[in-house]
């Protein structure tokens, strides 16, 4: 199988040409269910497995997002689970943050060891927020979320009984997002006969901070903003996922642009490895479509637990490498 091993000239990576798309497809299938593109896990894969550690790895991650996320976004739009007010606030807030994040990456975090520490801290936050959702304290006051989970369980039981199969489950066709109001102070929408709301200004400020972190890391920000929307704003994952992926797609376009055309000091390589990014994106495209398609068949709790455990493991590993 040596003929499948190729050298990517920009990144210097030499690997089997099938490995990047297969890994990206596997990761994106699971992460897209929570509104996360998978870029936050692909970056550790590129750094630890492919040994790609220069600042351009962040730009390559953005290329992955651009190619991979449209399939998941399309699926959420088609099924009526795109919260458009949330989507636009996320986009407007994250775009200026991505620009700042670029400069933080090339000026303050060019050292791979220091950058891995930063990545580990970001991952630790993401994983902690997801796992915190499993605690009794986090569940206090989340009656609407409990109602959705109970409806999901009841529908699953009904369909299993009607169709006599263990695979029949999921959200009904009428479980779509309906915007009730969208003002500068508050956004309110309805999903599956339950109403949810959040502060417009609060979400915008969150999106800006996420843009800075995402621009530095090389992710669109969905990996950070989705858990925050679920844990802090108490929004259901079924309504957050589509908005987070759409925001990731558009901010990633801005990220690739910044890394490709902005000047970098000291001869640092910041332009993306387009071939590697496209291969990763191709796998992610398939994985995200399937993940968005099957999300409605998977309980929210299971999505959070699996992602949370994987992320915590990676975060601890990256943080410890800085001190060893």
DSSP 239-306: HHHHHHHHHHHHHHHHHHHHHHHS--GGG---S--HHHHHHHHHHHHHHHHHHHHHGGGS-HHHHHHH
Q: pLDDT in tens for each of the 324 residues of the chain?
A: 566 788 998 888 999 999 999 999 998 888 777 667 778 788 888 988 998 988 888 889 889 889 988 888 888 888 888 889 999 998 899 888 888 888 888 888 888 888 888 888 888 887 887 777 667 665 554 555 566 666 656 665 665 565 554 444 456 666 778 889 999 999 998 887 778 889 999 999 989 988 888 888 777 776 678 777 877 788 887 788 888 888 888 888 988 988 888 766 666 678 899 999 999 999 988 988 888 778 777 776 777 787 788 788 888 988 998 887
The pair phi, psi for residue 184, each rounded to 5°, is -70, -20
What pLDDT shows up at residue 168? 43
Residues 6 or more apart whose CB falls under 8 angstroms from that of 139 comprise 133, 145, 146
What pLDDT shows up at residue 171? 60
Rounded Cα gap, residues 148 and 154, in angstroms? 10
User: What sign does the dihedral 80-86-91-92 (CA atoms) show?
Assistant: positive
Specify whether the CB–CB gap between 189 and 195 falls below 8 A: yes
Rounded Cα gap, residues 57 and 118, in angstroms? 14
Q: What angle do CA 68, 71, 76 make, to 5 degrees?
A: 130
Token look-up 């750094």 returns 47
What pLDDT shows up at residue 3? 64
- Tokens read off for 254: 């801005």
Residues 6 or more apart whose CB falls under 8 angstroms from that of 82 comprise 73, 76, 177, 242, 243, 246
Taking each helix axis as running N to C, give the angle between helix 237-261 and helix 274-294, from 0 to 180 degrees, rounded to the nearest 10: 170
What pLDDT shows up at residue 151? 62
What pLDDT shows up at residue 156? 56
């Amino acid at each position: 199988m040596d003929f499948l091993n190729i050298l990517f000239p920009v990144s210097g990576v030499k690997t089997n040409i099938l490995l990047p798309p297969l890994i990206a497809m596997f990761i994106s299938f699971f992460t897209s269910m929570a509104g996360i593109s998978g870029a936050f896990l692909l970056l550790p894969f590129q750094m630890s497995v492919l040994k790609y550690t220069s600042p351009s790895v962040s730009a390559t991650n953005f290329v992955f997002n651009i190619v991979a996320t449209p399939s998941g976004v399309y699926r959420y739009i088609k099924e009526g689970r795109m919260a458009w007010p949330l989507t636009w606030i996320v986009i407007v807030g994250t775009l200026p943050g991505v620009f700042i994040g670029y400069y933080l990456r090339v000026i303050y975090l060019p050292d791979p060891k220091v950058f891995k520490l930063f990545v580990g801290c970001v991952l630790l936050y993401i994983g902690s927020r997801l796992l915190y959702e499993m605690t009794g304290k986090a569940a206090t006051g989340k009656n609407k979320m409990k109602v959705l989970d109970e409806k999901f369980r009841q529908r699953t039981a009904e369909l299993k009984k009607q169709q006599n199969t263990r695979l029949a489950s999921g959200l009904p066709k009428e479980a779509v997002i309906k915007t009730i109001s969208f003002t500068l102070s508050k956004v309110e929408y309805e999903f599956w006969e339950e109403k949810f709301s959040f502060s417009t200004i609060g979400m915008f400020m969150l999106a800006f901070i996420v843009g800075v972190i995402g621009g530095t890391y090389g992710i669109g920000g969905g990996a950070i903003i989705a858990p925050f929307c679920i844990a802090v704003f108490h929004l259901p994952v079924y309504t957050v996922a589509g908005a987070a992926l759409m925001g990731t797609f558009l901010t990633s376009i801005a990220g690739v642009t910044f890394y490709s055309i902005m000047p970098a000091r000291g001869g640092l390589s910041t332009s993306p490895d387009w071939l590697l990014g496209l291969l990763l994106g191709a796998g992610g495209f398939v994985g995200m479509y399937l993940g968005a398609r099957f999300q409605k068949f998977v309980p929210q709790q299971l999505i959070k637990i699996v992602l949370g455990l994987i992320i915590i493991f990676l975060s601890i590993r990256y943080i410890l490498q800085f001190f060893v």
